[in-house]
Structure 1
Amino acid sequence: MEKQGRKRIKLIAIDLDGSLLTSQNNITERTALAIKELISRGVIFVIATGRMFPSARKYALQFGPNTQVISYNGALVKSAAGELLLHRPIPLNLAKDVMSFLRERKWHVNSYIDDVLYVKELNQKALIYARNSDVTPQVAGDEIYNPKKEPTKLLVVANDPSQTEQIRDEIKLNFNGRLFVAISSPLYIDLGNPETSKGKAIKFLADRLGIERDEICVIGDSENDVEMFEAAGVSIAMGNAREDVKSKASFVTASNDEDGVAVAIEEIVIPRYL
């Protein structure tokens, strides 16, 4: 059924950090209730994040084991129960080239292989990331630069937000379309398989479920959410999003610390599209 010529939303995909989660890394009761209301109306709920699957899974399970999780920016798609649907890691030779490039510049890198986080050493960047993501990193030493298996994702951590765009641009210039590169937070630059993006993963899920683009709503706040916006009929940027991200969305809601996801569901999705 359509409302005033608009398609009914059948799937909603929401980013975690800066969107679904507050700055304290939790989902508020109001936001959880709003999502459960959508689920009760038959809308499929998807978490779409740059985080590793084990870090995202605990949030997905709050909404049931069948919740779909797009993790590592779309490189891995699983249900919260663990059913594997899609995996697109970085080809091994390309990963080695990237690691050599990062090593030369002495940039901090996280490597994710088989849902395990590897770091060179337990420095402050590694410890802060581990605490925020609630995962235990494995120390690899210099072996991190010579992966034996294809990483699902690599992540560079800048020293300061003022460096993030420069690092992103330098990586993009050197790998010239061979690598997915996107800023996912003020300090994080995510790297992945060139065929990886949240948008491609959402299209994969939608095709699998027989859902059209105009029946998809997405909510996000960062550069790595922009391709997700392009894959949906309705895109909503968080109030705390970068201005260039807001400009690409259909709507802008409140910030993640002001129940922005709940506001979007209550004031945009339900009244206009359900």
Structure 2
Amino acid sequence: MAIRLLVSDVDGTLVDPQKQLTDGVIAAVGRLRAAGVGFTIISARPRSGLMPIADALSLDEPIGAFNGGIVFRRSGEVMAHHRVAGDVARGIWAVIGDAPVDRWVFADDRWYASTDQGVHVEHERRASAQEPVVTQDFDALLDRADKITFVSDDEPLLRSLTARVAPEYGARATVVQSQTYYLDITALEANKGAGITQLAEAFGVTLAETAAIGDQANDLAMLEKAGLAIVMGNAPDAVKAKADKVSLGNDRDGVAHAIDHFILEKGQ
């Protein structure tokens, strides 16, 4: 079946390692759309971090922020909004306890953080296109959180925290490591499997006519639902194992390669 829509992850996929859209990727998205194939993005980023990409690509179609927790258009229209339930957020916060991790809460289109220092803060400044609001008092924010992120370069620690949180709260929230150094908590409906379903419906296409491209474990839910699952060359082997096609890395315009060789060539 011909592909009529491509849904792309952003970090590690659409943008290069410096978090930039390259000319090659921008041109390839243009070729895709000129061929009549729709294109949109879904990401763990907040809306503020997706707007510059939407502007650069002139994306007026629905977009998924917070892994689909907010589906919106760059005009400002919000089509769906799912927050973490307050009691779930507090329960997870208690499980994490005094673990040595930085804490971020995204609420009310703002980014609240336990510190404004560190390499991941700098990366998030670029990804979110905003400055953190430093606080140690997160309690009131937990009632309206779009996303909670626990940050650490201690990958075994984050894996162990994920293993503690998921069995207790995985039925009421999406618990996933979007990167090896991020443990993300979003609403149960805020996962890329539900997100790609909403986006395909908005474009008027079936999932069988939809391709997805990503690079991390939080992309697996949409890769499993897509008619064509494309994984980036820089992805972990466990994610590549779920691919129909493996592209080049994001340091080599892997999205452009996928568009030209896996979608446009196939459609000719």
Shorter-chain TM range is over 0.9
Alignment partner of 2:162 out of 168, 173, 178: 168
Q: What's the TM-score, normalizing by structure 2? A: 0.93
Candidates 131, 137, 152, aligned match of 2:132: 137
SS of residue paired to 1:104: coil
- Report how far residue 236 of structure 1 moved: 0.3
Q: Distance in 2 between matches of 1:121 and 1:240?
A: 29
Asked whether 1:154 is paired with 2:154, we answer: no
Asked whether the 8 Å contact 1:221–1:245 carries over to 2, the reply is yes
Q: Which moved more, 1:42-51 or 1:230-239?
A: 42-51
Q: Which moved more, 1:254-263 or 1:93-102?
A: 93-102
| Percent of pairs with identical residues | 27
The Cα offsets for residues 147-206 of structure 1, whole Å up to 9 and x where unpaired, read as 263211111112333433223222213324222111111211111112221110111122
Structure 2 SS opposite 1:147: helix
- Aligned pair partner of 1:107 in 85, 101, 106: 101
Name which of 196, 204, 215 aligns with 1:221: 215
Comparing 161-170 with 225-234, which one deviates more in the overlay? 161-170
Counterpart in the other structure of 1:20: 14
Deviates more, 1:28-37 or 1:144-153: 144-153
The 2-side partners of 1:122 and 1:270 are apart by 43
CA drift of 1:244 comes to: 0.9
In the alignment, residue 119 of structure 1 is paired with which amino acid? A
Corresponding residue number in structure 1 for 2:176: 182
Q: 1:31 aligns to what?
A: 25
Partner of 2:58: 64
Unaligned regions of 5+ residues in structure 2, if any?
none
Give the whole-Å Cα distance in 2 for the aligned partners of 1:43 and 1:130. Answer: 31
Cα RMSD (Å): 1.8
- 8 Å Cα contact 2:151/2:181 also seen in 1: yes
The residue aligned with 1:54 is 48
Aligned counterpart, 2:251? 257
SS state at 1:192 partner? strand
TM superposition outliers: structure 1 runs of 4+ over 6 Å:
none
Paired residue for 1:208? Answer: 202
Residues 130 and 176 (structure 1 numbering): CA distance in 2 closer, same or farther, change over 3 Å? closer
| Per-residue Cα deviation, 1:60-112 (whole angstroms, up to 9, x for no partner) | 11121504321111111111222111111101221122223334324322101
TM-superposed CA distance for 1:38, in Å, is 0.9
Q: CA contact under 8 A between 1:153 and 1:190: conserved in structure 2?
A: yes
1:126 positional shift: 6.2
Moved more, 123-132 or 198-207: 123-132
Give the letter aligned to residue 130 of structure 2.
V
- In the TM superposition, what is the alpha-carbon distance from 1:250 to its structure 2 partner? 0.8
How many residue pairs are counted as aligned between the two chains?
267
Contact 2:88-2:169 at 8 Å conserved across structures: no
Instruction: Describe the shift of the 1:176–1:131 C-alpha distance in structure 2 as closer, same or farther (beyond 3 A).
Output: closer
- In structure 2, give the amino acid aligned to 1:215: E
Q: Residue 242 of structure 2 is aligned with which of 218, 241, 248?
A: 248
| TM-score of the two chains, using structure 1 as the length reference | 0.91
